[in-house]
A = this chain, B = another copy of it.
Amino acid sequence: MIKVGIVGGTGYTGVELLRLLATHPQVQLTAITSRKEDGLPVADMYPSLRGRVDIAFSAPDKAKLNECDVVFFATPHGVAMAQAPELLAAGVKLIDLAADFRLQDVSQFEKWYGMPHSCPQILEQAVYGLPELNRAAIKSAQVIGNPGCYPTTMQLGFYPLLKAGVVDTANLIADCKSGVSGAGRKAEIGILFSEASDNFKAYGVSGHRHTPETVAQLQRMTSEKVGLLFTPHLAPMIRGMHSTLYARLSQDIGNAELQALFEDAYRDEPFVDVLPFGSHPETRSTRASNMLRLALHRPDNGNTVIVLVVQDNLVKGSSGQAVQCMNLMFGLDETTGLMQVPVLP
């Protein structure tokens, strides 16, 4: 059994980790920290876990995280890097669901997250935790920077096109829509029910932290210069992410060949599902599961290919992906504990 610790389990990625780990056959949930909720049984905060998670939150200093095999950080940016040196020294593996270990370029991190990076030397050995594109490195990693939710859809959606070299890499567009849980469990006016319900808006259009993360990863797929316009929107749903990706074709290529690029890339992937050409995937077809689904379109057989990508932002977009990484790091079958069937309706 893998002894698992969670730092910051009171938010949505934290409770989603708990949901997934509660039924994971190889995991022993050992410690969960919260300074504010020290002593409170987890199930008192989340009655959905009554009878399924028996431990209580404990203050960080009491939590004995050093005795865990792996610690997940479901915390604000900056927390994981502060605790990383001590945990790594104790031989504990670390998976950060925030951004501390996503950007290898320290100056980019400091620009977008507004804080100095406290352990650039650890950052250097950190591995970007997108299994489909980085599986080998994840298997031997000590530190995982778990991808952002939007970047997961953009990378898996653009990858086959960039790898094949068939699109204009300098003018990619990603028009993305996220459910409100992506904003976290924070007491903020903008994500109140009465504000976000029956409403739709874009945000961060002039610049968003997920752009540099995505560009850095996309750039690894091609020698051409990558340029990306990323437009996030807030949609009135709890879970779900829909990314509509636009790429201009730079080569003469048929639709069957385009489709084959994607099917070949993801044929053996348990969590990426390529739908028939021309399909319209719905976010709910992935709800509460680790599946990501995508489909291709090419209106009027013109010069632009559109990739529609859907996932549950809290699972494949966050906590599920983190568990997938953990499975790889500990030599388990990658799908262990992650085969929940999507909840529909």
Residue numbers in B under 8 Å from A283 (CB-CB): 199-201
Q: Taking the complex as formed, is A181 at the interface, i.e. its CB lies under 8 A from any CB of chain B?
A: yes
Q: Which residues of A contact B (CB under 8 A)?
A: 12, 15, 19, 22-23, 46-52, 171, 173, 175, 177, 179-181, 185-189, 191-203, 205-207, 227, 229, 231, 233, 235-240, 242, 244, 246, 248, 273, 275, 278, 280-289, 291, 293, 297-300, 302, 304, 306, 308, 310, 314, 339-345
Copies in the complex: 4
**What is the CA–CA distance of A238 and B298 in the complex, to the nearest angstrom?**
29
Point out the residue from B23, B244, B248, B278 that lies within 8 Å of A206, measured CB to CB: B278
Between A and B, 26 residue pairs with Cβ closer than 8 Å are A48-B284, A48-B289, A48-B343, A49-B342, A50-B275, A51-B273, A175-B244, A179-B198, A180-B192, A180-B197, A181-B345, A185-B192, A185-B194, A187-B189, A191-B192, A192-B193, A193-B196, A194-B345, A195-B345, A197-B236, A200-B235, A200-B240, A201-B281, A202-B242, A202-B308, A287-B343
Residue numbers in B under 8 Å from A189 (CB-CB): 185, 187
Chain B's nearest CB lies how many Å from the CB of A36?
A: 12
Does A197 contact B205, Cβ atoms closer than 8 Å?
A: no
Point out the residue from B19, B193, B306 that lies within 8 Å of A236, measured CB to CB: B193
